[in-house]
A = this chain, B = another copy of it.
Amino acid sequence: MTDGLSMVLFSGTTDKLHAAATIVAGAAAMGRPVNVLLQYWALDAFRADRIDSDHGLAFDAMTPGSSRPVAGAADIPWLETFRMAKELGDVTIQACSGSLETLGFEADRLDELVDGPCGIATFLTAAEGGQILFI
C-alpha cells in the first residue's frame, strides 16, 4: 500500500470545499502525495470567474436548529487552504475531462490552482494502492 491520498471532489458548497481542503492540507503536511480530481460542482466552483464568490452551504445547514459558521460562509478560507496545501506539499488538482464536457466549458476557464484536465482512468490508475475519498 502507498501513502498517496486521492480525492474525487464533486461538491461545490463552501463547507464541503473547506472540509476537503483541510484534509488535503493535512495529508500534504504529512508529506503524503495528494491527487484531487474535480468533478461537477467542485469543478464549477474552481471556474476563475466565480471562485471568489460565495458558494453557500450544504442542504444540511437548513435543518432546523443547526448552527451557523461563525464568520459566515463567504469567509471560510477553503481556497487559501488549497493554495497553502499546494505550496507546502505534493498536491495535484486536476479537472475531470468528463465533467468538463458535461458542464460545457474548457479547462482554460479554471483558476490557476488547477493543473489541467485528467480522465477518470488515469486518475484511478494513479490512485491504486492508496486511500481514496469521494467528497
- Partner of A70 from the list B1, B103, B131, B133 (CB cut-off 8 Å) is B103
Minimum CB distance partner of A76 in chain B: B102
Instruction: Count chain A residues whose beta carbon lies closer than 8 angstroms to a beta carbon of B.
Output: 63
Chain B CB within 8 A of A86 CB = no
A92: Cβ under 8 A from any B Cβ = no
Q: Assess the A26–B63 pair: CB atoms within 8 A.
A: no
The answer to whether A120 touches B60, judged by C-beta atoms less than 8 angstroms apart, is no
Instruction: Flag if A63 contacts B8 (CB, 8 Å).
Output: no
Q: For the complex, give the distance between the alpha carbons of A45 and B65 in Å.
A: 9
The smallest C-beta distance from A127 to any residue of chain B, in angstroms, reads: 7
A12 lies within 8 A of B134 (CB): no
CA distance in complex: A65, B124 (Å): 30
